[in-house]
């Protein structure tokens, strides 16, 4: 029996606590070699063109490789150490080269074409026909029909893109981890929540310092920007955050050259494959038809949102001048002034709300929502994890069957990538009478509890947790028996956010909030009076928030809808042009937002950031079905959108089918019609714009 945890049978849960950096390279190298042999065997022309002869053996072998590589990538993101990073980076070119080699394998491509043309194809289930069709498409998009020098160059481009993206994310992580500000004058902390002050004190003490250590990680940065009375402190923090991984910091962490390199490589890849731009190439696999359609969609939303954003900013400027003596409102004042305006207008503070959202109760409430909608339970598991913060749960059906395993890692810490995301270790797969169940990671970066008290989450944190749970459920509740049609393998990128954004809506329902909240001192749920204030502020500055998202989306699409790469100067100029078109807030010229835009340059969202807004149309409309079917309640009583019958339909038509059919078909099956933008405008407080 091997002692390398990465080589344990894929049917077993990984022993994360036993994994060492020195396990990674031997396991990946061995599994790549096994997978190469499997590809060559399946590419033999003598094989019968059947699913069982070609695709099943490939999945048997390559599934083990991709499971091990997913584990290595996850650990690299959540417990990054020099040794682990070195091991991961040693293997990255090996994995990239193998993946590219498979995509360019003419023999294997021929086998898929034979399978498509064989009599068996017509007899296969629709999901398997779709897998074959998508594989043929991906072979073509993966350069299989290229010849000679173009083929060689394509392989080089693939490797260079993988390396550049990895280096981009390392620069962001290191820039954040290396920056800190030690304060020794407690007066400069005025306005900050007590738990943030305590965390800063603990961080300084851990470094052997007296005072308070502030960092750029969100649980510290955001409360400072929202609450610090010291304007110079806000300015210093803003400048540090706005120049992460740029030429204004350590030269070795500057992402400028990597952005230029990635844009050039992407444009070259597209040209090699016969596309006018990287955006055109990527949109081959999306719901949207072309860049023009996406740009029209974004600009239509911007036209509806910008008047609201302009009004939001005018109100903020007047309030800041009249009440805060901030007549020259600067970017580092925006969050601070916005929080004061919200407190004044709605008579509550985020700090007050946060006392009710203790992490254990929020999880209890989240699990209650999942159970109510989808008739499954989440049960704590003793599976080993990679860090004391992480917890494993089994997803249990009504028949007491284990449907999957969910790992949650919720707190920010040194060596962990910022942000929130979901990824999968393995997908559901039927093996004869047995089922290989999915294993999913849910990662956030919340502030941990202090002095024996539970972690306190902001309402935005709660929304983030629900968002990521939607992604997790998409994988965990799959009934797709073939991994090639799993949600993360084949749902169109601009529909992948549907379940996640859908789940966010429940965070605004009072009956749900009652189950999510328990005051840290009294244990009482959020009072109705405070909920009403929270709800009335739901769309506070909604116009400003929407145009900001549209700014990101337009910027992404426009820099990728180019025949060739752009210089850093041209990238910043394009961003400035987008801002002139849709924005109402304009940051200083030294702001280097793109250098920290990991979604685009390290997270797979290049030419795809518009997906958040595209899918939000779908998710808002899907949630409207729950609003329409919420059981009637007495006047003054909170409605109950946890409708089990509608939840079962959402499970059956959206979550369970994964990528086994086009996302548009799944939406129509659930809603009975094409999607409408009306629900999104209503939820965003812009319903009058729909007229």
Which residues are catalytically annotated? 468
Strands 421-426 and 439-446: antiparallel
Cβ(6)–Cβ(422) below 8 Å: no
3-class SS at 410? strand
Q: At what angle do helices 51-78 and 106-117 cross, to 10 degrees?
A: 130
Cβ(78)–Cβ(417) below 8 Å: yes
List, in sequence order, every beta strand (DSSP E) within 274-330: none
Burial of 266 (0-12, 13-18, 19+ CB in 10 A): buried
How far is residue 270 CA from its own chain's centroid?
Answer: 25
Cβ(80)–Cβ(173) below 8 Å: yes
φ, ψ (nearest 5 deg) of residue 381: -120, 155
Q: Write 36-45 long-range contacts (CB < 8 A, 24+).
A: 36/98, 36/101, 37/61, 38/62, 39/102, 39/105, 39/108, 40/107, 42/108, 42/111, 43/105, 43/107, 43/108, 43/110, 43/111, 44/107, 45/107, 45/110, 45/111
DSSP string, 595-654: GG-HHHHTSS-TTTTTHHHHHHHHHHHHHHHHHHTSPP--TTSPP----HHHHHHHIIII
510 CB-near residues (< 8 Å, 6+ apart): 528, 531, 535, 638
- Report d(CA 676, CA 628) in Å as an integer: 15
φ, ψ (nearest 5 deg) of residue 596: -115, 10
- Report d(CA 530, CA 355) in Å as an integer: 12
Cβ(491)–Cβ(500) below 8 Å: no
Element of type H or E holding 110 = helix 106-117
| Three state DSSP letters for 668-688 | HHHHCCCCCCHHHHHHCCCHH
Q: Give the pair of three-digit tokens for residue 494.
A: 């601009």
- Report d(CA 51, CA 121) in Å as an integer: 9
Q: At what angle do helices 459-476 and 359-374 cross, to 10 degrees?
A: 40
């Amino acid at each position: 029996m091997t002692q390398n945890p990465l080589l344990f049978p894929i049917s077993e849960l990984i022993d994360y606590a036993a994994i060492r950096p020195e396990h990674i390279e031997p396991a990946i190298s061995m599994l790549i070699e096994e997978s190469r042999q499997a590809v060559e065997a399946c590419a033999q022309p003598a094989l019968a063109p059947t699913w069982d002869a070609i695709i099943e053996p490939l999945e048997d072998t390559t599934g083990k490789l991709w499971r091990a590589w997913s584990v290595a990538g996850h650990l690299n993101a959540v417990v990054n150490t020099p040794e682990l990073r070195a091991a991961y980076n040693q293997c990255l070119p090996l994995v990239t080269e193998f993946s590219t080699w498979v995509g360019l394998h003419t023999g294997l491509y021929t086998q898929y074409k034979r399978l498509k043309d064989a009599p068996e194809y017509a007899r296969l289930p629709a999901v398997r026909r779709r897998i074959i069709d998508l594989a043929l498409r991906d072979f073509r998009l993966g350069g299989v029909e290229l010849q000679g020098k173009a083929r060689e160059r394509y392989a080089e481009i693939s490797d260079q893109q993988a390396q550049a993206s990895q280096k981009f994310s390392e620069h962001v992580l290191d820039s954040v981890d290396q920056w800190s500000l030690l304060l020794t004058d407690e007066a400069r902390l005025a306005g900050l929540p007590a738990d943030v002050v305590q965390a800063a004190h603990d961080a300084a003490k851990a470094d052997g310092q007296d005072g308070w250590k502030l960092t750029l990680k969100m649980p510290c940065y955001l409360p400072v920007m929202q609450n610090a009375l010291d304007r110079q402190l806000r300015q210093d923090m803003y400048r540090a955050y706005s120049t992460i991984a740029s030429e204004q910091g350590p030269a070795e962490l500057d992402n400028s050259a990597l952005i230029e390199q990635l844009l050039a490589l992407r444009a070259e890849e597209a040209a090699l494959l016969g596309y006018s731009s990287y955006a055109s190439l990527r949109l081959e696999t999306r719901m949207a038809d072309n860049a023009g359609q996406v740009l029209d969609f974004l600009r239509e939303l911007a036209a509806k949102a910008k008047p609201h954003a302009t009004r939001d900013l005018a109100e903020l400027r007047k309030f800041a001048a009249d009440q805060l003596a901030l007549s020259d409102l600067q970017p580092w004042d925006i969050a601070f002034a916005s929080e004061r305006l919200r407190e004044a207008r709605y008579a509550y503070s985020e700090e007050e709300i946060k006392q009710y959202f203790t992490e254990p109760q929020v999880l209890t409430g989240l699990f209650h929502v999942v159970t109510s909608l989808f008739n499954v339970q989440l049960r704590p598991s003793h599976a080993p994890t990679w860090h004391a913060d992480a917890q494993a749960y089994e997803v249990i059906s009504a028949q007491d069957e284990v449907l999957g395993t969910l790992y949650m890692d919720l707190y920010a810490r040194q060596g962990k990538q910022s942000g929130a995301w979901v990824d999968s270790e393995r997908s559901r797969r039927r093996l004869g009478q047995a089922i290989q169940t999915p294993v999913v990671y849910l990662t956030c970066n919340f502030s941990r509890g202090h002095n024996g008290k539970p972690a306190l989450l902001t309402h935005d944190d709660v929304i983030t947790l629900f968002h990521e749970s939607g992604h997790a459920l998409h994988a965990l509740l799959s009934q797709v028996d073939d991994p090639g049609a799993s949600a993360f393998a084949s749902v169109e990128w601009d529909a992948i956010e549907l379940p996640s954004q859908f789940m966010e809506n429940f965070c605004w329902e009072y009956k749900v909030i009652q189950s999510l909240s328990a005051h840290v001192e009294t244990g009482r749920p959020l009072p109705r009076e405070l909920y009403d204030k929270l709800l009335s502020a739901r769309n506070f500055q909604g116009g400003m928030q929407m145009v900001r998202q549209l700014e990101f989306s337009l910027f992404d699409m426009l820099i990728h809808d180019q025949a060739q790469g752009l210089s850093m100067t041209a990238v910043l100029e394009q961003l400035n042009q987008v801002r002139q078109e849709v924005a109402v807030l304009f940051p200083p010229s030294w702001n280097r937002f793109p250098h920290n835009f990991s979604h685009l340059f390290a997270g797979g969202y290049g030419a795809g950031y518009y997906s958040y807004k595209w899918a939000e149309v779908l998710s808002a409309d899907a949630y409207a079905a729950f609003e329409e079917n919420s059981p009637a309640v007495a006047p003054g009583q909170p409605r109950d959108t946890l409708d089990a019958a509608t939840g079962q339909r959402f499970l059956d038509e959206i979550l369970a089918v994964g990528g086994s059919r086009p996302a548009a078909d799944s939406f129509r099956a659930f809603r009975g019609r094409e999607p409408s933008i009306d629900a999104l405008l209503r939820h965003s407080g812009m319903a009058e714009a729909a007229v």
